[in-house]
Amino acid sequence: MIDFFINGQPVQAEDNQTVMQAAKANGFFIPYFCWHPQLSVPGNCRICMVEVETEAEGGGWLDIACNMPVTKGMRVLTDSDKVRARRKETLQFITLNHPVDCGICDKAGECTLQDYHYEYNGAPSISRDAKVHATKHFPLSERIVLDNERCILCSRCVRFTREISKSHALGVQSRGDHSLIRPVEDGAFEADPYSDNVVDICPVGALLSRQFLHKARVWYLKPTPSVCPGCERGCNVNIWHRKSEWKLKALDAKQNARIDRVTPLENPAVNGPWICNKGRDLARILERARAEQAMQKGRPVELQAAIDSARALIGTARQPVALVSSWGSNEELAAFHAALGQRFACYVKPDWLPVPGERLEDDLLIRPDKNPNRAAACALFPALPADVQSAFPPDTDLVLVWGEGFSFAQLPPTARIIYLNSYLQPENGHADVFLPISAQTERAGHYTNFQGVVSGFEACFAKKPGVADALALFAAIAAPAEGSKP
């Protein structure tokens, strides 16, 4: 450990830490654009310059904190007059050619440049010359649009593709103030399943997600912690949706219960600050058409009637088999185990298999099992065997299918079917009893990832009245029906 001083206060740094890292660890904030704790240090934005006091004539000298090794006894000032003056000058340069697009820029409200401008400068540009123009809408990929005028060439996006996703898909074309971020010409950026992380780490509104483009102002939205169900990594995410106080103002009721965007929620034990694009696209999974009506053999019935029928079937079954959802939360799985685990021969099924073209596995985040909670489920029940038919003894008379992804053609034709599912699917109508259940965004719970790390998700939206919570459902359908044998 190295003893030194920040703003007169004694602090400690670990060996080999830079002033930037040590300051952060000790709770001092030094502004930065190009520095990122997970990426290499380019030291190009120059906004992190701090003053180091010295007895020499002229007083302290200034240099960038992100590349400055901590030395014993050094006296660092992060907010002296010299530092403030330097920051103002640096911001003059950064905003020299930066278009004042705030009124139409998605980044407004979460823009580092906006924040620093208000915090450290507040002064208009001293230049009276026209700004240098560049490409406003460069199609970086189907998912991301690039505005080169807004770009401050911090190179975070380039370093991300070099060091984290390793697609080496972005680079800096040309030089000087003609420099432009550009994707490699063989389409590698389009194919990079982590591409959208550059939108998060871009400190300005240069890199924007097309699916979020002009959709909502961020100050109308709130992030709710959740877990991506896309694979067994269980990356922690924030699901952004309308703040409750802004719901009345929405023109369209659908906007009140919409996933506006998904961003990473940093968890050093699981995903760090990144997620893959599948997680960004969770709306595609979670906002499919919903099943909201209980049914018996396709005929709509009241939810309670369906529950009663299910209970009756379970009460009289002689050889019941259950296919357990690998999307069930820890709490739901425990409830299933408690209520129905003895009654049924249970097997864990994979609700989702990899789709064609989907990356199976890599060294970063993506895992081959595309279900969020196989670990917890398989701790309680055996997995469905590869020879699926062996799970159904010849006299199977009832199958409870929980969750999607299992073709009913594989079920014994003589068995009755109880089906629990969130989404509208043709199978729903073929089940003897169909019970619509809530989706992940409508409840709270936990998943256990493939390494045993438990992460929690909270509810974003209220479920519809005719939809049941699986958690409560298991106890309800397990209770012995009147007149049946236990």
Partner 1 sequence: MTGRKLLMTFPVTATSHLLADYRARGGYATLEKVLRQMRPEEVTKEVTTSGILGHGGAGFPAGRKWGVIKLNDGQPHYLCANADEGEPGTFKDRWILENAPHLLLESMLITAYALQVRNAFVYIRGEFDLPYRRLAAAVEEAYAAGWFGERILGTIFSCDIVIYRGAGSYVCGEASALITSIEGKKGYPRNRPPRLTVRGLYQRPTVINNVETLANVTGIVAHGAEAFRKVGTAKSPGTQLVSISGHVQRPGVYEVEYGYPLAKFIYEDCGGVLGGGKLKCIVPGGISTKVLTAAEIEPLTYDHASLAGAGSGVGSGGMVVIAEGTCMVRLLQILLRFYHHESCGQCTPCREGMGWMHRIIDRIVAGEGRPEDIEQLIRISKANDGTTICGMGDAAGYATVGIIAKYRDEFEYFIEHKRSRLDGRLEVAIP
Partner 2 sequence: MKHLIAEFDAMRKRYPAGAESSLVLPCLRRIQEDRGFVADNDIAELTEYIGVPRIQIEEVLSHYTQFRRAPIGRWHVQACRNLSCSMRGAEGVIEQLSRKLGIAPGETTADGRFTLSTVECLGSCGTAPVVIVNDTYHENMSPARLDALIEGLPK
Q: Is 180 or 345 the residue whose CB approaches partner 1 more closely? A: 180
Tell me how far, at minimum, the Cβ of 155 lies from partner 1, in Å: 8
What does the per-residue mask of binding to partner 2 show for 382-411, with x meaning CB under 8 A?
Answer: ------------------------------
Q: Does residue 188 interact with partner 2 by CB under 8 A? A: yes
Tell me how far, at minimum, the Cβ of 278 lies from partner 2, in Å: 24
Tell me how far, at minimum, the Cβ of 172 lies from partner 2, in Å: 6
Stretch that binds partner 2, among 62-70, 75-83, 172-180, 477-485 (CB under 8 A): 172-180
Which residues have C-beta within 8 Å of that of residue 392, sequence separation ≥ 6?
321, 399, 411, 412, 415
Tell me how far, at minimum, the Cβ of 32 lies from partner 1, in Å: 12
CA distances 226 to 259, 263, 267, 403, 440, Å, are 12, 10, 12, 19, 9
Q: Is 46 or 278 the residue whose CB approaches partner 1 more closely? A: 46
Number of residues in contact with partner 1 under rule CB under 8 A? 35
Out of 85, 104, 123, 184, name the contact with partner 2 by CB under 8 A. 184
Q: Does residue 134 interact with partner 2 by CB under 8 A? A: no
Nearest to 199 by CA among 242, 255, 262, 136: 262
Tell me how far, at minimum, the Cβ of 93 lies from partner 1, in Å: 4
Q: Is 49 or 313 the residue whose CB approaches partner 1 more closely? A: 49
Q: Does residue 186 interact with partner 2 by CB under 8 A? A: yes
Tell me how far, at minimum, the Cβ of 38 lies from partner 1, in Å: 19
Tell me how far, at minimum, the Cβ of 175 lies from partner 2, in Å: 5
Q: Does residue 177 interact with partner 1 by CB under 8 A? A: yes
- The full 3-state SS of the chain, as one line of letters, equals CEEEEECCEEEEECCCCEHHHHHHHCCCCCCCCCCCCCCCCCCCCCCCEEEECCCCCCCCEEEEHHHCECCCCCEEECCCHHHHHHHHHHHHHHHHCCCCCHHHCCCCCCCHHHHHHHHHHCCCCCCCCCCCCCCCCEECCCCEEECCCCCCCCCHHHHHHHHCCCCCCEEEECCHHHCEEEECCCCCCCCCCCCCHHHHHCCCCCEEEHHHCCCCCHHHEEEEEEECCCCCCCCEEEEEEECHHHCCCCCCHHHHCCCCEEEECCECCCCECCCCHHHHCHHHHHCCCECCCCEECCEECCHHHHHHHHHHHHHHCCCEEEEEECCCCHHHHHHHHHHHCCCCEEEEECCCCCCCCCCCCCCCCCCCCCCCCHHHHHHHCCECCCCHHHHCCCCCCEEEEECCCCCHHHCCCCCEEEEEECECCHHHHHCCEEEEECCHHHCCEEEECCCCCEEEECCCCCCCCCCECHHHHHHHHHCCCCCCCC
Q: Does residue 172 interact with partner 1 by CB under 8 A? A: yes
What does the per-residue mask of binding to partner 1 show for 94-123, with x meaning CB under 8 A?
Answer: x-xx--------------------------
Out of 185, 363, 387, 482, name the contact with partner 2 by CB under 8 A. 185
Q: Does residue 175 interact with partner 1 by CB under 8 A? A: yes
Q: Does residue 175 interact with partner 2 by CB under 8 A? A: yes
Residues 74-93 interacting with partner 1 (rule: CB under 8 A): 86, 89-90, 92-93
Out of 12, 40, 54, 173, name the contact with partner 2 by CB under 8 A. 173
Q: Does residue 170 interact with partner 2 by CB under 8 A? A: yes
Out of 172, 378, 459, 476, name the contact with partner 2 by CB under 8 A. 172
Q: Does residue 265 interact with partner 2 by CB under 8 A? A: no
96 binds, among partner 2, partner 1, none (CB under 5 to 8 A by kind): partner 1
Tell me how far, at minimum, the Cβ of 97 lies from partner 1, in Å: 6
Q: Is 96 or 312 the residue whose CB approaches partner 1 more closely? A: 96
Q: Does residue 363 interact with partner 2 by CB under 8 A? A: no
Q: Is 113 or 265 the residue whose CB approaches partner 1 more closely? A: 113
Tell me how far, at minimum, the Cβ of 276 lies from partner 1, in Å: 29
188 binds, among partner 2, partner 1, none (CB under 5 to 8 A by kind): partner 2
Tell me how far, at minimum, the Cβ of 310 lies from partner 2, in Å: 57
Binding site for partner 2 (CB under 8 A): 162, 168-175, 182, 184-186, 188
Binding site for partner 1 (CB under 8 A): 41-47, 49, 61-62, 64, 67, 69, 86, 89-90, 92-94, 96-97, 126-129, 132, 152-153, 172, 174-179
